[in-house]
Every structure is written in C-alpha cells, then in structure tokens.
Structure 1
Amino acid sequence: MPSIQDELLPSTPGKFKIDHRGSHHRQLHRCFASTSTMFLWALFLIALTASYLSFQSFIDTGNRYFAASWGGIQWERQVRNSAQIHRSGGMSVLVTGAAGFVGTHVSLALKKRGDGVVGLDNFNSYYDPSLKKARKAMLQDHGVFVVEGDINDTRLLAKLFDVVAFTHVMHLAAQAGVRYAVPPPP
C-alpha cells in the first residue's frame, strides 16, 4: 500500500507526478475554462434555441394554414362566382359581417341589383351562431358566398383580394360590446 509521502512527492526529483485519474474531467474543464470558449458555447446555444423556436413557429403556422376553413381550388371558384358582376357599371363588393342582420340585408340588396358580392363573417357566439348559419344558407341560396373567417386574419384578406379584385368593401363587421343597462328579465 502506497504511503501518503509516495502520493505527494514525485518518484524522481525535479519531475512532477502525473495523475491519470480524472484526466477527462481536466480536459473538459480546459475546454470550458477560457472566456472565448465560453462565449462561443453561449453563441452556439443561443443559435440552437433560436433555430428550434423558428422551426416550431413554422410548424405552428403550417398547422393553422392546413386547418383553415378557406383555400383551395373549389373555394376560389366559389369566391369568383359570387363576385361575378351581372350589370353594366356594377361593383364587386366584399361585405364584412355578412351574416349579421344588417350585413345580410345589404348583401341581398347588392346581389339583387346585379353587383358581385362575397361575404365575410367570423360567426362568433355573441349572438346565436345558428341564426348566423341560417342567414349564411339564405345568402347561399341567393348566390352570395360567405367566407367563414376573421377580418383580423391578414392571410385570409390577402388571399381574398388575390382571388378577386374587389372594387368596394362594405365594412359592417363589429365586435359587439353593448351591455345591458338593466338586468334582462328572467
């Protein structure tokens, strides 16, 4: 059994004893010890994190695109047919809030006049959505295609204006915010 003196003092005077135990630990420590090396590792980790996050946002965007209720050849055909003008000097109108009370009547009046009309509504639940769906079906029966989407969706709006060169926009969409002055009766 080696004594403490053998472990601490070199076997040959003037030379240092090399301890091979833990050499991997020392090499790893040397790799991370310098400031420039630490800076490079930090940059590497930041770049790795940024690429992961951008890849995740790409996947999320793609999922939203494929899950959208709009797009495709059939959808574009319906939009173009609905926007078709049937009178001289007619207009091609995008009506936002088309499934609302006023939007439905405006869309029907424009279509009856011979203008091309495409509706846009998000079918939110502030009012009964089944009422809006019934209005959408009525508009469909009169040749007005209503797109289910939000006016805040810039990709949807860009797509609509790419498919049809609307001459006018009748903006009737609104976020209802009127509250009752008194509690409604039971």
Structure 2
Amino acid sequence: MSHLDNIPSTPGKYKPDKAFRFNSSAASSSLSKLTLYSTLFLSVLLIFLLLLSSPSSPPSPLRHLSTGSHHTPLSLSHKLIRKSARPRSTTGHTVLVTDAAGFVGTHVSLALKRRGDGVLGLDNFNHYYDPTLKRARQKILEKAGVFIIEGDINDKGLLQQLFDAVLFTHVMHLAAQAGVR
C-alpha cells in the first residue's frame, strides 16, 4: 500500500487509512452474538404474542346462518357449510377459498383439508373457464369434505352472509378474471 501513499486523494474516492486493520475473527464473533441475541429476542417476543392472542378456549368458527336472505341455497346448505368449515383440530384454521373449483383452488383446498383445516369453497362456475372441468373438480372436493358454494365474489350480500355464518381465520383469494381492462 506504500505506493498509494503518494497519490493525491480524489474527491469521492475512498483512501484506506493505514491505522485501520479489519479483524475478521472479532467481527465474526460479534455478528454471531448479535444473531444469537436477536433470534432469542424474536423467539421470546413471538411466544409472548402467541400467549396474548390465544384465548383459553378457541372460539367456534361457525356462527348462525340467517334464513331471511334472498340466498336460499346458503340457508338450505347450512349443515354442509358447517361440516366443511369445521377444522379437525383446535389448532386448525377455517379458510374460505375463492375459485375453489379452479386448478389451483382445487389443489389448495385439498391440501388445506388434508392438513386438518376447515375449508369452504366459493366459485361462480362461469363459462370463461370450462364449467365441466370445474364441476368434475367440485365432485372431487365434495368427496374430500370440501363444500363449494356457487356464487360470485362481487355479490356483497352473499359474502356478508358467509362471513356472518362462519368465523373464517383466513381467506385464500384465487378468483380472478383474465383480460380485465
């Protein structure tokens, strides 16, 4: 580095100081300690938050369905909705999957159900995507215990009734329309 000492410093360029020596073992040790302490802190914080947020007995994810709405299919399928949305364990989630009879929605719904979660599907079965494929997937999902409500996510009344009927912990929103301008 002695050959660099005689070159004048250019503004904006860094010229290393001779007195500064980087000790890689000390930096590595400090970084290891910092990583350990931050991991411990985050773990304790996460456990604390989980203890604060979990009630002593988990609330039932199912609520009463109103029958005074214009959505009679929802009222008639009350038992199917309750059965489909009920998780197998107290730690399971209750998930609403939109476009449940689509390719991705079917696989997601089946995976959630296998995991022990309660799953309720929503699909409009429109002609944009071949309805016969979606109906075939609907049968597969029904065999797995996933009930699909035929309806549109733009129907505010239907969604309100669904969210009044079931206390969803998660929504897997997969519904979309390609080519929307």
Q: TM-score, normalised by structure 1?
A: 0.57
1:71, 1:97 → 2: CA distance?
Answer: 17
Q: 2:74 aligns with which of 58, 71, 74?
A: 71
Q: 1:148 aligns with which of 147, 150, 154?
A: 150
The answer to whether the 8 Å contact 1:110/1:117 transfers is yes
- Structure 1 residue runs of 5 or longer lacking an equivalent are 1-63, 179-186
1:71, 1:93 → 2: CA distance?
Answer: 17
Q: What are the Cα deviations for residues 113-162 of structure 1, in whole angstroms up to 9, with x where unaligned? A: 00000000011111110000000111001000000000000110111111
Give the paired residue count.
Answer: 112
Q: Which has the higher helix share?
A: 1
2:134 maps to what in 1? 132
The answer to whether the 8 Å contact 1:126/1:176 transfers is no
Which aligned pairs between 1:1-186 and structure 2 lie closer than 5 A?
65=70, 68=71, 70-72=73-75, 74-177=76-179
Q: Which runs of 4+ in 1 moved over 6 A?
A: none
Name the SS for the 1:118 alignment partner.
strand
Name the SS for the 1:161 alignment partner.
helix
2:103, 2:145 → 1: CA distance?
Answer: 18
Give the aligned residue type for 2:163.
F
Give the aligned residue type for 2:167.
A
- Structure 2 residue runs of 5 or longer lacking an equivalent are 1-68
1:160, 1:145 → 2: CA distance?
Answer: 13
The answer to whether the 8 Å contact 2:74/2:149 transfers is no
1:70, 1:156 → 2: CA distance?
Answer: 10
CA shift for structure 1 position 69: 6.3
2:139, 2:153 → 1: CA distance?
Answer: 20
